[in-house]
A and B are shown apart, each in its own frame.
Chain A
Amino acid sequence: MKQYSDVISAYVIMLGLIILVGFLQSWSMALSILCFCLISAVMTMGANIQWGYAGLINFGIMGYTALGGLAAVLVSVPPVKEAWQAGGLQMVICALIIVFIIFIVRFILKKYKKSSNRNYIIAFAIIVGLIFLRLISGPAIHSIEAVNPATTGFLGGMGLPIIFSWVIGAFFAGGLAYVIGKIALGLRADYLAIATLLISEIVIAIIKHEDWLTRGVKNVIGLKRPVPYEIELQSTQWFINLVEKFNQGALNLVTGVLEKEQLLKQLVIDGSTVFVKLCYAGLFSIVVIILLIVTQKALYSPWGRMMRAIRDNDEAANAMGKNVVKQHLLIFVIGSAVVGIAGAMMVTYDGLFTPGSYRPMRYTFLIWVMVIVGGSGNNFGAILGGFAVWFLWIESAPASLYLINLLTSGLEETNALKIHLINSIPYFRLLVMGIALLLVMRYKPKGIIPEKIRHI
Chain B
Amino acid sequence: MDFINSIVLLLNYIFVPALSYGSQLALGAIFVSLIYGILRFAYFTAGDLMSFGTMFTILFTWYFQSLGINLGVLPTALLAIPFGVIITILYVLAKDKLIFSYYRTKKSPPVMLAMVSIGTMFVTQAIVRIVIGPFDRRFFDGEKFILKANEFKEMTGLNEGLTIKSTQVITLLVTIIVVSILFWFLNKTKTGKSMRAYSDNEDLALLSGIDPKKVVMITWVIAAILATIGGTLYGLDKSFKPFTYFNNMLPIFAAAIVGGIGNPFGAFLGGYVIAFSEILITYAYKKFFIYILPESLEPDGLLQLLSTDYKFAVSFSILVIVLLFRPSGIFKGKII
Q: A residues engaging B (CB < 8 A)? A: 57, 138, 183-184, 187-191, 193-195, 197-199, 201-202, 205-206, 208-209, 361, 365, 368-369, 372, 421, 423-424, 427-431, 433-435, 437-438, 441-442, 445
Tell me the nearest residue of chain B to A216, going by C-beta.
Answer: B309
Q: Are A198 and B254 in contact, with the CB atoms below 8 A?
A: yes
Tell me the nearest residue of chain B to A366, going by C-beta.
Answer: B122
Query: Given A198-B320, A365-B121: A209 and B110 within 8 A (CB)?
Result: no
Q: Are B250 and A209 in contact, with the CB atoms below 8 A?
A: no
| Chain B 208-227 per-residue mask, 1 if CB under 8 angstroms from chain A, else 0 | 00000000000000000000
Q: Which residues of chain B from 124 to 181 have any CB-CB distance to chain A below 8 Å in the complex?
A: 124-127, 129-130, 133-134
Query: Given A189-B111, A361-B246, A424-B129: A437 and B316 within 8 A (CB)?
Result: no
Query: Given A434-B121, A438-B119: A198 and B130 within 8 A (CB)?
Result: no
Within the complex, the shortest CB–CB distance from B223 to chain A, in Å, comes to: 17
Q: How far is the CA of A190 from the CA of B300 in the complex (A)?
A: 45
Q: Which residues of B contact A445 (CB under 8 A)?
A: 112
Q: Are A205 and B250 in contact, with the CB atoms below 8 A?
A: no
Within the complex, the shortest CB–CB distance from A267 to chain B, in Å, comes to: 40
Q: Are B102 and A442 in contact, with the CB atoms below 8 A?
A: yes
Q: Which residues of A contact B90 (CB under 8 A)?
A: none
Q: How far is the CA of A205 from the CA of B310 in the complex (A)?
A: 6
Q: A195-B323, A199-B320 are in contact. List 19 more A-B contacts (CB 8 A).
A: A184-B320, A187-B323, A193-B111, A194-B42, A195-B320, A201-B312, A205-B312, A365-B121, A423-B133, A427-B126, A428-B126, A429-B126, A431-B126, A431-B130, A433-B122, A434-B119, A434-B123, A441-B112, A441-B116
Q: How far is the CA of A421 from the CA of B131 in the complex (A)?
A: 9
Q: Which residues of B contact A434 (CB under 8 A)?
A: 119-126
Q: Are A191 and B115 in contact, with the CB atoms below 8 A?
A: no
Q: Which residues of B contact A424 (CB under 8 A)?
A: 129-130, 133
Q: Which residues of B contact A429 (CB under 8 A)?
A: 126
Query: Given A184-B320, A195-B320: A206 and B313 within 8 A (CB)?
Result: yes
Q: Which of B129, B301, B313 contacts A202 (CB 8 A)?
A: B313
Q: How far is the CA of A441 from the CA of B133 in the complex (A)?
A: 28
Determine whether B65 belongs to the interface, using a CB cutoff of 8 Å to chain A: no
Q: Are A437 and B257 in contact, with the CB atoms below 8 A?
A: no
Q: How far is the CA of A431 from the CA of B257 in the complex (A)?
A: 29
Determine whether B307 belongs to the interface, using a CB cutoff of 8 Å to chain A: yes
Q: Which residues of A contact B253 (CB under 8 A)?
A: 194, 197-198
Determine whether B324 belongs to the interface, using a CB cutoff of 8 Å to chain A: yes
Q: Which of B112, B126, B307, B315 contacts A430 (CB 8 A)?
A: B126
Q: Which of A189, A193, A209, A438 contacts B307 (CB 8 A)?
A: A209
Q: Which residues of A contact B126 (CB under 8 A)?
A: 427-431, 434
Determine whether B317 belongs to the interface, using a CB cutoff of 8 Å to chain A: yes
Determine whether B18 belongs to the interface, using a CB cutoff of 8 Å to chain A: no
Q: Which residues of A contact B109 (CB under 8 A)?
A: 189
Within the complex, the shortest CB–CB distance from B106 to chain A, in Å, comes to: 10
27 A–B contact pairs at CB < 8 A?
A: A189-B111, A193-B114, A194-B253, A195-B319, A198-B253, A198-B316, A198-B319, A199-B316, A205-B309, A205-B310, A205-B313, A365-B121, A368-B118, A372-B115, A427-B129, A429-B126, A430-B123, A431-B123, A431-B127, A434-B120, A434-B121, A434-B126, A437-B115, A437-B118, A437-B119, A438-B119, A438-B120
Q: How far is the CA of A188 from the CA of B36 in the complex (A)?
A: 13
Q: Are A202 and B316 in contact, with the CB atoms below 8 A?
A: yes
Q: Which residues of B contact A428 (CB under 8 A)?
A: 126, 130
Q: How far is the CA of A205 from the CA of B116 in the complex (A)?
A: 28
Determine whether B284 belongs to the interface, using a CB cutoff of 8 Å to chain A: no
Tell me the nearest residue of chain B to A364, going by C-beta.
Answer: B118
Q: Are B323 and A184 in contact, with the CB atoms below 8 A?
A: yes
Within the complex, the shortest CB–CB distance from B245 to chain A, in Å, comes to: 13
Q: Which residues of A contact B123 (CB under 8 A)?
A: 430-431, 434-435, 438
Within the complex, the shortest CB–CB distance from A395 to chain B, in Å, comes to: 16
Within the complex, the shortest CB–CB distance from A102 to chain B, in Å, comes to: 16
Q: How far is the CA of A303 from the CA of B313 in the complex (A)?
A: 37
Q: Are A368 and B115 in contact, with the CB atoms below 8 A?
A: yes
Q: How far is the CA of A398 from the CA of B231 in the complex (A)?
A: 33
Query: Given A198-B319, A437-B119: A183 and B324 within 8 A (CB)?
Result: yes
Tell me the nearest residue of chain B to A442, going by C-beta.
Answer: B102
Q: Which residues of B contact A206 (CB under 8 A)?
A: 313
| Chain B 289-302 per-residue mask, 1 if CB under 8 angstroms from chain A, else 0 | 00000000000010
Q: Are A198 and B250 in contact, with the CB atoms below 8 A?
A: yes
Q: How far is the CA of A435 from the CA of B130 in the complex (A)?
A: 15
Q: How far is the CA of A372 from the CA of B119 in the complex (A)?
A: 11
Q: How far is the CA of A191 from the CA of B109 in the complex (A)?
A: 14
Q: How far is the CA of A441 from the CA of B106 in the complex (A)?
A: 13
Within the complex, the shortest CB–CB distance from A396 to chain B, in Å, comes to: 10
| Chain B 42-64 per-residue mask, 1 if CB under 8 angstroms from chain A, else 0 | 10000000000000000000000
Within the complex, the shortest CB–CB distance from B277 to chain A, in Å, comes to: 14
Within the complex, the shortest CB–CB distance from B310 to chain A, in Å, comes to: 6
Within the complex, the shortest CB–CB distance from B169 to chain A, in Å, comes to: 31
Determine whether B99 belongs to the interface, using a CB cutoff of 8 Å to chain A: yes
Q: Are A430 and B122 in contact, with the CB atoms below 8 A?
A: yes
Q: Are A183 and B102 in contact, with the CB atoms below 8 A?
A: no
Q: How far is the CA of A437 from the CA of B312 in the complex (A)?
A: 29
Q: Which residues of B contact A201 (CB under 8 A)?
A: 250, 312-313, 316
Q: How far is the CA of A183 from the CA of B327 in the complex (A)?
A: 12
Q: How far is the CA of A249 from the CA of B243 in the complex (A)?
A: 52
Q: Which residues of A contact B336 (CB under 8 A)?
A: 187-188, 191
Query: Given A424-B130, A428-B126: A194 and B310 within 8 A (CB)?
Result: no
Q: Which residues of B contact A199 (CB under 8 A)?
A: 316, 320
Q: Which residues of B contact A197 (CB under 8 A)?
A: 250, 253
Q: How far is the CA of A138 from the CA of B302 in the complex (A)?
A: 12
Within the complex, the shortest CB–CB distance from B258 to chain A, in Å, comes to: 11
Q: Are B130 and A427 in contact, with the CB atoms below 8 A?
A: yes
Scoring B126, B134, B253, B301 by chain A CB atoms within 10 A of each residue's CB, the highest score goes to B126
Determine whether B41 belongs to the interface, using a CB cutoff of 8 Å to chain A: yes
Q: How far is the CA of A427 from the CA of B133 in the complex (A)?
A: 9
Q: Which residues of chain B from 75 to 100 have any CB-CB distance to chain A below 8 Å in the complex?
A: 99
Within the complex, the shortest CB–CB distance from A240 to chain B, in Å, comes to: 45
Tell me the nearest residue of chain B to A191, going by C-beta.
Answer: B336
| Chain B 252-269 per-residue mask, 1 if CB under 8 angstroms from chain A, else 0 | 011001000000000000
Q: How far is the CA of A209 from the CA of B320 in the complex (A)?
A: 21
Q: How far is the CA of A421 from the CA of B310 in the complex (A)?
A: 37
